[in-house]
């Protein structure tokens, strides 16, 4: 090691304080803009028994703040994962969770989200009844499930409301960090039109704050079923009153499939029956599309088998939960969804879709149920896009597991009826169906419609998974060349499942997914493994971080590009200008030579599209080019 250097290569990142910057390759600690750790691998030994004290120290919690354990499981690698929820003065802080990962009684790492709450009054001025009226006013439905006899079938009742703290969702940036609100949370399930969401109402002012959608729009006997989309399949049914029905109880607590008869009242649903357990096309391939129920039933069975076989997960809740499917919902209904309790399938209009019970759609929708019991990604913007993307991942993986001769990388190809479309989405070529394959690239949705483009921007995660599984090379929308050697869909699925079951939290973003994808690959296959290399290079391919072996910094991410942006940065030979048209860009590859001992001026020129605010800026310096900013 040389003790004297004539010149020093200085790599730097300039960011507004509203940005969160951190290293993403070879990192042991990632922080938000307030230097609060989002992810850290411990270098010292700490007993898991002192985890709560440890979190208090690491997060520098105020006396009124606390993290309370709520869930724990031990994985196949011998790691124990304990999930903690954030509270303030005894009130839950929504989306504030940390996960502590331990082995042999010692904490190995931890990750999560801490939302700062400053001296908030937790005594509401608004009554629950008044807040509930505000929530109903916001939803504006014609009919609600608590007035429907179907409610008892899915363990749903009229919500009484829960007092919570709703944090500022600007992703722990420096702006408006104290803007947490005391709120009432209501689980509002509407039946006409169909919707279900957690509605948050300000407990002081009555203002609507947020809607977190729950509905995400797609005696044992062996029978033979002529399915609508997958040919002849063996299904399990039960014998009842001299005939057979689509119910079976060999998988978890059971799989049941019901006929809604184009109605919307779940309590009026009836069994599909057959007199000899040979569910033939002559009987069920009719104008009512009754053979679609055979796909739904077989698809639920295959989905259960996939999760227990590949991931040792006992149904969507990992506790054997019954999978109930309701077919023929409404008239010509072009949707399928998991409503938080059961699966619902429409028959399709024939103009857009056929009956929405194909295998990959069933796997996708039940994948939403798995998500609700794991990472529980918020259904909006990047979190929501990944929620959709992970469901596509499970839809494709389940199709490959149960029907490998189908087109694994097309989602919904069996039900697609729109002119000029091969499927709902293509994971191998997202752009062919109007999705982006590069983060903030071509086709990236920027508006608030579709909960912030969740069904569009999921294409980035879809393409990442395809590349990890199969591999590929090319040039992305940023002009970056990439080459990925695939590791196969089974190993890729192990990594994806570990991401959602161990590391990701409800507010995780694409940059977080990169960190946790790489860490999951290291956990499962080792540092420097083909899996770690493939995962890293696939993230690079979709525009998030550098290729394996490169020093990579943040995927720059602005929160208010429509108002402000950095227009110019000058340092020595660097004189870089940028605009706001396509959002913030990552210029961390730009470098300049600086001489030790000399003074230099960094000039940052802000641009404003409207009101000029008082703004601060941070300069992060990586002195030794190791990918982090904690150098001495």
End-to-end CA distance of the chain: 16
CA–CA distance, 174 with 32 (Å, rounded to integer): 9
Residue 578 pLDDT grade (very low, low, confident, very high; cuts 50, 70, 90): confident
Beta bridge partners of 424: none
What are the percentages of helix, strand and coil residues in the chain, rounded to 5?
25, 30, 45
* Residue whose C-alpha is closest to residue 355's, from 333, 338, 339, 337: 333
Average of per-residue pLDDT values in the chain? 88
Give the CA-trace dihedral at 462, 464, 469, 473, to 10 degrees.
120
Supply the pLDDT for residue 220: 65
The predicted model gives 228-254 an average pLDDT of 93
Enter the pTM of the model.
0.74
Secondary element (H or E) of residue 309: helix 291-311
Per the annotation, the verdict on 50 as an active-site residue is: no
Q: How far is CA 241 from CA 228, 238, 268, 275, in A?
A: 26, 10, 20, 10
Q: How far is CA 6 from CA 127, 356, 574, in A?
A: 69, 67, 20
The predicted model gives 239-243 an average pLDDT of 84
% the chain with pLDDT above 90: 70
* Residue whose C-alpha is closest to residue 625's, from 597, 593, 585, 584: 593
Q: 404 or 174, which is more confident?
A: 404
Query: What is the full DSSP assignment across 126-184?
Result: S-HHHHHHHHHHHH--SEEGGGSGGGGGGT------EEEEEPP-S-S-STTTT--EEEE
Supply the pLDDT for residue 5: 28
Per the annotation, the verdict on 455 as an active-site residue is: yes
Q: 277 or 592, which is more confident?
A: 277
* Residue whose C-alpha is closest to residue 411's, from 486, 336, 319: 336
% the chain with pLDDT above 70: 88
CA–CA distance, 83 with 97 (Å, rounded to integer): 7
Count CA atoms closer than 13 A to 553's CA, side-chain side: 23
Among residues 101, 216, 455, 540, which one is catalytic? Answer: 455
Largest CA distance in the chain: 92
In degrees and rounded to multiples of 5, residue 7 shows phi and psi of -140, 155
Supply the pLDDT for residue 563: 64
* Residue whose C-alpha is closest to residue 375's, from 171, 557, 512: 512
Residue 25 pLDDT grade (very low, low, confident, very high; cuts 50, 70, 90): very low
C-alpha R_g of the chain = 26
pLDDT tens, residue by residue, 431-457: 999 999 999 999 999 989 999 999 999
CB 473 within 8 A of CB 484: yes
Length of the chain: 632
Q: Please determine, for residue 234, whether its predicted confidence score (pLDDT) is greater than 70.
A: yes
Give the ranges where 344-458 is alpha helix by DSSP (H).
359-372, 381-402, 449-457
Burial tier of 13 (Cβ tally within 10 Å: 0-12, 13-18, 19+): buried
CB 284 within 8 A of CB 294: yes
Query: What is the full DSSP assignment across 219-273?
Result: -EEEEEEE-SSS-EEEEEEEEETTEEESEE-SSTT-EEEEE-TT-S-GGG-EE-E
Q: How far is CA 402 from CA 68, 223, 300, 305, 428, in A?
A: 40, 17, 11, 9, 20
Among residues 248, 256, 365, 413, which one is catalytic? Answer: 365
pLDDT tens, residue by residue, 326-342: 999 999 999 999 999 99
* Residue whose C-alpha is closest to residue 277's, from 342, 206, 330, 224: 224
CA–CA distance, 86 with 62 (Å, rounded to integer): 12
Query: What is the full DSSP assignment across 16-65?
Result: ETTS-----SS-SEEE-TTS-EEEEE-SS--BGGGHHHHHHHHHT--TTE
pLDDT tens, residue by residue, 262-281: 999 999 999 999 999 999 99
Supply the pLDDT for residue 177: 45
Beta bridge partners of 16: 617
Q: 18 or 199, which is more confident?
A: 199
Residue 516 pLDDT grade (very low, low, confident, very high; cuts 50, 70, 90): very high
Burial tier of 326 (Cβ tally within 10 Å: 0-12, 13-18, 19+): buried
């Amino acid at each position: 090691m040389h003790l004297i250097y004539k010149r020093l290569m200085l790599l730097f990142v300039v960011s507004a304080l509203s940005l969160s910057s951190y290293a993403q390759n070879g990192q042991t600690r990632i922080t938000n803009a307030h230097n609060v750790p989002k992810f850290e691998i411990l270098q010292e030994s700490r007993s898991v028994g002192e985890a709560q004290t440890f979190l208090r120290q690491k997060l520098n919690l105020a006396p009124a703040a606390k993290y309370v354990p709520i869930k724990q499981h031990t994985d196949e690698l011998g790691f124990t994962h304990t999930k903690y929820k954030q509270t303030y003065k005894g009130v839950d802080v929504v989306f504030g969770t940390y996960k502590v990962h331990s082995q042999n009684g010692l904490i190995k790492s931890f990750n999560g989200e801490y939302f700062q709450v400053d001296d908030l009054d937790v005594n509401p001025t608004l009554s629950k009844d008044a807040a509930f009226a505000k929530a109903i006013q916001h939803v504006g439905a014609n009919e609600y499930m608590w007035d429907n006899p179907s409610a008892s079938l899915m363990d749903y009742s009229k919500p009484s409301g829960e007092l919570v703290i709703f944090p500022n969702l600007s992703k722990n940036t420096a702006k408006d960090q104290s803007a947490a609100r005391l709120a009432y949370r209501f689980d509002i399930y509407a039946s006409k039109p169909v919707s279900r969401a957690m509605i948050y109402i300000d407990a002081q002012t009555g203002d609507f704050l947020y809607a977190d959608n729950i509905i995400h729009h797609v005696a044992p006997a062996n029978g033979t079923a002529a399915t609508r989309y997958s040919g002849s399949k063996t299904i399990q049914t039960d014998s009842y009153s001299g005939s057979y029905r689509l119910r079976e109880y060999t998988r978890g607590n059971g799989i049941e499939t019901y006929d809604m008869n184009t109605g919307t009242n779940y309590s009026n649903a009836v069994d599909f029956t057959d007199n000899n357990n040979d569910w033939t096309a002559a009987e069920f391939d009719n104008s009512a599309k009754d053979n679609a129920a055979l796909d739904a039933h077989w698809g639920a069975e295959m989905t259960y088998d996939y999760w227990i076989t590949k991931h040792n997960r006992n149904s969507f809740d990992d506790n054997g939960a019954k999978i109930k499917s309701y077919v023929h919902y409404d008239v010509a209904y072009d949707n399928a969804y998991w409503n938080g309790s059961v699966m619902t399938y429409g028959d399709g209009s024939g103009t857009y879709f056929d009956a929405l019970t194909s295998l990959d759609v069933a796997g996708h929708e039940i994948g939403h149920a798995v998500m609700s019991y794991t990472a529980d990604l918020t259904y909006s913007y990047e979190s929501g896009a990944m929620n959709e993307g992970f469901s596509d991942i499970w839809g494709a993986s389940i199709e490959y597991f149960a029907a490998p001769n189908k087109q694994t990388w097309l989602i919904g190809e069996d039900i697609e009826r729109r002119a000029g479309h091969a499927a709902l989405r293509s994971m191998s070529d997202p752009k062919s169906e109007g999705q982006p394959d590069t983060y903030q690239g071509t086709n990236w949705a920027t508006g608030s419609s579709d909960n912030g483009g969740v069904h569009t921007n999921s294409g980035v995660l879809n393409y990442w998974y395809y590349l990890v599984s199969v591999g590929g090379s090319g040039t992305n929308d940023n002009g970056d060349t990439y080459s990925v050697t695939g590791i196969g869909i089974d190993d890729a699925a192990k990594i994806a499942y570990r991401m959602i079951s161990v590391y990701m939290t409800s507010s995780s973003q694409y940059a977080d997914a990169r960190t946790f994808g790489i860490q999951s690959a290291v956990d499962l296959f080792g540092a420097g493994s083909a899996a770690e290399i493939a995962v890293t290079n696939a993230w690079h391919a979709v525009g998030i971080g550098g290729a394996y072996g490169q020093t990579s910094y943040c995927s720059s991410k602005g929160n208010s590009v429509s108002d402000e942006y950095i227009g110019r940065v000058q340092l020595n030979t660097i004189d870089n200008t940028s605009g706001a048209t396509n959002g913030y860009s990552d210029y961390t590859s730009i470098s300049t030579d600086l001489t030790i001992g000399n003074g230099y001026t960094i000039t940052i020129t802000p641009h404003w599209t409207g009101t000029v605010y008082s703004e601060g800026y941070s300069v992060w310096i990586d002195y030794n080019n190791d990918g982090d900013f904690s150098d001495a």
